[in-house]
Amino acid sequence: MDTSSEQKLVSALIAQHQELREDVAAILAHATSLDRSNVDLVYDELSKFKSDLFQHLKLENETFYVKYLAKKRSEGEDIEQLNNFIEQMDVIGEVVTQFLSKYATAESILNSPTGEFMKRLHEVTDILDVRIETEEGSTYQMFLSTPSSSDLPRMTEIPLASER
């Protein structure tokens, strides 16, 4: 992959991150006073987020990380730390996916215990922010410059609200 196509890939991923942030902001804006009158709007925004997220994860997991690993291998670098980092990113993706599965219908959103949907939404927002900031702040730049694997970012544990 040449430098120009690598840059285009990273630019596309960053643009998708912005779209995901906008999706979450729209959900938060409509869900602050969740009731029967706006639950369909919240559900529609959540469905858009889900679609955008899965599109992003597909590009990232099937293209970006595959190319990053191939690039590291071709340079003779140890990829164990990168594989561990990818696993951490997958865990974050799974937490968000579980949230989306739990609230897969407007009724499941509306019928959740008072405040639980918003609590879980804030947890997902926090964990998604960690992933985006890690990728944009270092991972994508390292892909473009290919430093040694020892320069990969370290993920910090973010306790979910249920663990606090």
pLDDT digits (tens, 9 = 90+) for 68-125: 999 999 988 889 989 998 998 899 889 999 999 999 999 999 999 878 999 999 999 9
Exposure of 17 by Cβ count < 10 A (0-12 exposed, 13-18 middle, 19+ buried)? Answer: buried
Of 6-10, 123-127, 151-155, the range with the lowest mean pLDDT is 151-155
- What distance in Å separates the CA atoms of residue 57 and residue 118, rounded to the nearest whole number? 23
Domains of the chain, earliest start first: 3-163 (1.20.120)
Six-digit token pair at 71?
Answer: 């690039």
Q: Kindly state the average pLDDT of the residues 54-74.
A: 94
Q: What does pTM read for this prediction?
A: 0.84
- What distance in Å separates the CA atoms of residue 53 and residue 16, rounded to the nearest whole number? 8
